[in-house]
Amino acid sequence: MSDRWEGPTRRALLGSATAVAAGAVTGGPAAAVTGQVPALWREFTRTPFTHPQIPYIGRAGQRAGAAHFPRRPVVADVRAYGATADGSADSAPAINRAAAAAGRAGGGTVLIPPGTYRLDGLIHVGHSNVVLRGAGSARTKLYATRSLTELIGAYGSRYGGDKSSWSWAGGLIWFCPADRFDSLMSAIKAKAWPFEGWTGNKRDEWETLTTVEPARRGSWTVTVADPRRLRPGRLVLLRLADDTGHTLLEHMAGGGPGQEAYRWDDKTKLTSYVPYEWPVRIARVRGRKVTLERPLPLDTRPEWDPRLTTHVEALTGSGVEGLTLEAVETPQAPHLLDRGHNGVTFQCAYDCWADDIVVRHMDNGFGLVSASACTLRDTRVAGRGTHHPYFCREGSHDNLVEDFVIEERTAPAPAGTQLHGINVEGLSSYNVWSRGDMRMGTFDTHRGMPFANVRTDITVTNNGRHGGDAIAGPLFGARFTHWNIRVTNARAGLTRIDGLAPYSATVGINEVTEFDQIDVPDFSGDLHSRLELYGTSGMVRPRNLYEAQREIPDVRSRTFSAR
């Protein structure tokens, strides 16, 4: 058998599309109308890895979107380390001791049996393959009495001003490699506000493994100069540097006259996010041909000095399951002054997960900070109101948030506060939000030109606002897709994006109108964006773009096993 892989056949792709569309017939007369299968879907199945408007996100999530999370053997019960399930004493030290012991043992599951455990400190998981497992979100509660400001101190913005970085970073359950976490804590205490990306505070904690020859976006295989340090299963960074003409940023935005005319040099926050760093596992090495676990997110052109590099060691294979994290109820802070009643955050993490987790009375719910290939499944944000229910930033890629709920706030919003929703920013790409029930919030982008992200099969009461400084650049890059979106209050802002996002798609959204935040496109001229089956939310087939893309054949079964 040849080792060469050329992608799925057109027959296989069209067969997959036909099967998905045929399944719609059982949904009733409206679903059976053949016109409800958009032309965009038929186009996509012919060019799934290189479509100009719709990204391929079929392998987003932990272990390429695996249906089940690893079941690691139980190695510790937090009660044996001194935790008390009646809320009478601080259990944070005991839980941290149990998690650290599991890490030193090479990983395993730390049980948190039914009950209420008081936390006067944060929980930090700094080792790979460690799982915190409660008895279910209705049975195990962690009750957090203090904020990150109280526990660690004020964390200002590296851009100056009086902003609190706890508004978009950190969690009371914080997954972050131990060395990375220690350097962060040292920098915060010294008020030397750190860079939070994959390569560390100074962006110089990497080493070249090999340079990469030119290849096109969507390629699964690249040719490298020197494969000697590459092996199947190794996690590497694909690193792309911008040039003086900012052609890499133009490429992320889809390219064209509008992008070429855009003023990039004065967008200093945006330009701080490059080089673009994309973590990926190697699937196969055959001579100088290297197959990746996911197709290339961008071209690898010589002017961007493409190379595979090392990285700050990521946290991998860790998760949290089956518990509620509830903060002491305090009023929501004024905008950007959050004190850090934050939920679960994954930082510098890869192939990690959260499952059956509720966060309540939080400033910010679930965070992905330089985190990639993680899955948040069956998660819920509840209580008094939240600044960022979900934030995804600092170059986070290929994550999956599915079966999520943002509940309506239980307390009125204090003056001066803001609500965002499902946030993405900072050149984060190929992330998916799927099967959501958003009873408040919006499809927030905080500028920083995120690109190639998908929101699909979501109901939203669209009452939030987007954020982001002007120096962070465009709201959207290319290949943003909103597919089967049900807006309950008819507000268009940030949900219908055919007039905002370049080379993007809005498919199957109900009729919407602008409300109190009118957005304007960042790029002049034709955006090359598509609007299809407008006014038919819930009737477009396939119903869920991510799940339909999962049916498209890839290299998973032939070339790669993550473990």
pLDDT tens for each residue of 522-553: 999 999 999 999 998 878 999 999 999 999 98
Per-residue pLDDT reduced to its tens digit, 445-486: 999 999 999 999 999 999 999 989 999 999 999 999 999 999
Strands 353-360 and 375-382: parallel
Q: Would you say 343 and 359 are in contact if contact means Cβ atoms under 8 Å apart?
A: yes
The string of pLDDT tens digits covering residues 166-223 is 999 999 999 999 999 999 999 999 998 887 888 876 677 899 999 999 999 999 999 9
CA distance 99 to 340: 22
* Count of all residues that appear for the chain in the document: 563
Helix (H, G, I), strand (E, B) or coil at 445: strand
Q: What is the pLDDT of residue 559?
A: 40
Range in 15-24, 74-83, 326-335, 454-463 the model is least confident about: 15-24
What pLDDT does residue 517 have? 61
Model pLDDT for residues 304-343, shown as the tens digit of each residue: 999 999 998 999 999 999 999 999 999 999 999 999 999 9
pLDDT at 163 over 80: yes
Mean pLDDT value of segment 148-161: 90
Question: SS3 breakdown of the chain: % helix, strand, coil, rounded to 5?
Answer: 20, 30, 55
pTM over 0.75: yes
Mean pLDDT of 246-261: 98
Q: Cβ–Cβ contacts within 10 Å for residue 205, how many?
A: 18
434: exposed, middle or buried (Cβ count in 10 Å: 0-12, 13-18, 19+): buried
CATH 2.160.20 residue ranges of the chain are 61-205+312-429
pLDDT value at 369 more than 90: yes
Amino acid at the residue 339 = R
- What is the architecture of the domain spanning 61-205+312-429? 3 Solenoid (2.160)
What are the strands of the beta sheet with 173-175, ordered from one edge? 123-125, 173-175, 342-347, 364-369, 388-393
Share of the chain above pLDDT 90, in %: 84
Is 58 within 8 Å of 65 (Cβ atoms)?
yes
DSSP 3-state assignment of 544? coil
The predicted pLDDT at position 155 comes to 95
